[in-house]
Structure 1
């Protein structure tokens, strides 16, 4: 067959001869046949002919990963980076797990990802330059929202939704980090940073007694992304409040901290909340991307001991902790944390109600979750 002839010529190093045979071959009714012809044209430097063959392959199977990746590369070789980025994006959407591919294709995928990122950045920078004056005329919140809108529109950032593992209150906006105006007590909390820090340091000096693995599944439970941290002290917590009750040990060892928290409007639910902990993350440890239980509640972070090279991401926004500077975020949006330093990182974490819920809704959600718990023991 002619396809065998052109491949044999290529194997023998006769690139021109293989390309000449490829010209003679008529319609090839298989994806692999067109991919082979495109490969020969690429080897011969005839990129436009390679592109035509790849289009033929994609006409037969629009979801062919190899054809899409190859077409993206040919377009890149032709200097059509914008078109290449679009094709590469489609290829990456249907790519098999990268660790199942040969090394050469893994490198091709990484190169494709880099070009896509460059093109998205170029598009964003161009649009931003066109709209800088318009952004400057907006208020602080409007400017932040419209800048993120541009980043999402140009593909520079990804949109994240609220995806709780337990209870979703519909209609609540998926806000990654909440504005401080909703929590007038935050400044008072931050003014107590030294109090929390002093009691935390007493625990640390005492050998971190009372700190236990935060992830600790029962034997036989699927651990999913928590395999590395399950039962590990790399991420450990000391409970000040747990399932709605102040802890006796904490009351004795951290009396000022527990008292300060008792004066803060935490999310009180009988037998469920609030929970408040000193959270310790060991050196060179990462908390994998995950989602919290319900968007009816939010989490507060107050950084206490934060070495360099620590970070935190909620959705598409990455922040660095600053000692004594608190924030409130929706933990039902995918989030992760890391400590790339050589020292332990410590923060105070506790939960509060979502301020966008009415008092009546808070009461209803509390009863709803409690009734679910009571059903389990029937």
Structure 2
């Protein structure tokens, strides 16, 4: 099929769509797609024909193709939400709807057909939010935390999460969950933790295992990768970028089996650490490699119930971790402990790679009952579909 024939078929498919002949529209437009001549307009027409025909698979395929070319395409974002909701994936659907509605707010006045879709997305998002709230209460109750068993601090954290209460801190702005009332501190000092000296004493043994791993560059993967089932999020070009890469020892709260055998001294040292355990989110333990000149732009972490620890292992020269405007240099064998719910960034000015071991710990101010509450909440959230 040449371009001229593809253009003729695209026009024929569009005409069929306008008169409501969905069978002809889908069949004709799919011929253009299969021949490799589909542009955004063809995908939009095919997606609309599939939507009207109730063909969710075809609609979602069209949405994916559109978003591959334009990740802010409002119609396709809403279609993704509709398709994921129809598939029973409520969390995924909610994320697509939220992204779509933020996009709609940016655009402002919408054409009538898009405004109708956006209104439907807004209604669907509100329904999903109500369902999610009920599921959270049921999940917490099943885990021994009905409303009457929750501490005032945890109850308020839930209210903030639901939008029923509001706090506006100068420093802490976590992207997922804020536990109110915790100190607004950028850094914690090493001397405040009794486990630090024993852990730092293992630096040489940990670094020896790291050097062995660095001989196999395929072990390190880009730290940020795009999740195929969620809206695409850009972070200053760092997604799928090897300039900031990682080797995970514990990923999504689970030990990577082959890493346990490769890093016995590292895992032994970590046994002395009060690791944070939050569903599939924590502990998170990894070697983080920052190439020469690489800059991790200012950003906020997800949860303020934990602290992040850096054990610098290879520090070739100038570079810094900046938290809330306060910059500190990495020094090999000396932990940096900070609140990543505060805006932070990192840069390596040196002419070779910087590597630190990263892990998370519970905030010391958070009591055992509230730690259990946070863990139960995210177990509930992560089990929700």
TM-score by length of 1: 0.55
Q: Which residue of 2 is the match for residue 140 of structure 1?
A: none
Can you give the 5+ residue segments of structure 2 that lack an aligned partner in the other structure?
1-168
Aligned-CA RMSD value: 1.6
Tell me the CA shift for residue 160 of structure 1. Answer: 4.5
Alignment of 1:309-328 (within 5 A): 309-328=318-337
- Residues 1:266 and 2:272 aligned together: no
Q: Which residue of 2 is the match for residue 186 of structure 1?
A: 196
Residue 160 of structure 1 contacts residue 316 of structure 1 at CA under 8 Å; is this kept in 2?
no
Match of 2:343 among 334, 339, 343: 334
Tell me the distance in 2 between the aligned counterparts of 1:340 and 1:372.
Answer: 39
Tell me the distance in 2 between the aligned counterparts of 1:223 and 1:210.
Answer: 25
Secondary structure of the residue that 2:187 maps to in structure 1? Answer: coil
Residue 190 of structure 2 contacts residue 335 of structure 2 at CA under 8 Å; is this kept in 1?
no
Tell me the CA shift for residue 272 of structure 1. Answer: 2.4
Match of 2:356 among 347, 352, 356: 347
Residue 286 of structure 1 contacts residue 339 of structure 1 at CA under 8 Å; is this kept in 2?
yes
Residue 251 of structure 1 contacts residue 258 of structure 1 at CA under 8 Å; is this kept in 2?
yes
Q: Which residue of 2 is the match for residue 21 of structure 1?
A: none
Match of 1:199 among 173, 195, 209: 209
- Residues 1:372 and 2:371 aligned together: no
- Residues 1:163 and 2:173 aligned together: yes
Q: Which residue of 1 is the match for residue 299 of structure 2?
A: 290
The alignment of Structure 1 onto Structure 2 pairs a total of residues equal to: 216
Residue 246 of structure 1 contacts residue 258 of structure 1 at CA under 8 Å; is this kept in 2?
no
Can you give the 5+ residue segments of structure 1 that lack an aligned partner in the other structure?
1-158
> Structure 1 residues 334, 244: closer, same or farther in 2, change over 3 A?
same
Task: Give CA-to-partner distance per residue, 1:117-156, whole Å, 9 cap, x none.
Answer: xxxxxxxxxxxxxxxxxxxxxxxxxxxxxxxxxxxxxxxx
TM-score by length of 2: 0.54
Residue 199 of structure 2 contacts residue 272 of structure 2 at CA under 8 Å; is this kept in 1?
no
Tell me the distance in 1 between the aligned counterparts of 2:193 and 2:249.
Answer: 21
Tell me the distance in 2 between the aligned counterparts of 1:179 and 1:263.
Answer: 18
Q: Which residue of 2 is the match for residue 211 of structure 1?
A: 220
Structure scoring higher RCO (CA < 8 A, sep ≥ 6) equals 2
Residue 300 of structure 1 contacts residue 329 of structure 1 at CA under 8 Å; is this kept in 2?
yes
Residue 279 of structure 2 contacts residue 382 of structure 2 at CA under 8 Å; is this kept in 1?
no
Tell me the CA shift for residue 183 of structure 1. Answer: 1.7
When Rg is computed on C-alpha atoms for both structures, the one with the higher figure is 1
Secondary structure of the residue that 2:310 maps to in structure 1? Answer: strand
Q: Which residue of 1 is the match for residue 15 of structure 2?
A: none
Secondary structure of the residue that 1:251 maps to in structure 2? Answer: helix
Tell me the CA shift for residue 227 of structure 1. Answer: 3.6
Alignment of 1:1-378 (within 5 A): 160-204=170-214, 206-218=215-227, 221-224=231-234, 226-375=235-384, 377=385
Q: Which residue of 1 is the match for residue 35 of structure 2?
A: none
Tell me the CA shift for residue 209 of structure 1. Answer: 2.9
Tell me the CA shift for residue 181 of structure 1. Answer: 4.5
Secondary structure of the residue that 1:209 maps to in structure 2? Answer: helix
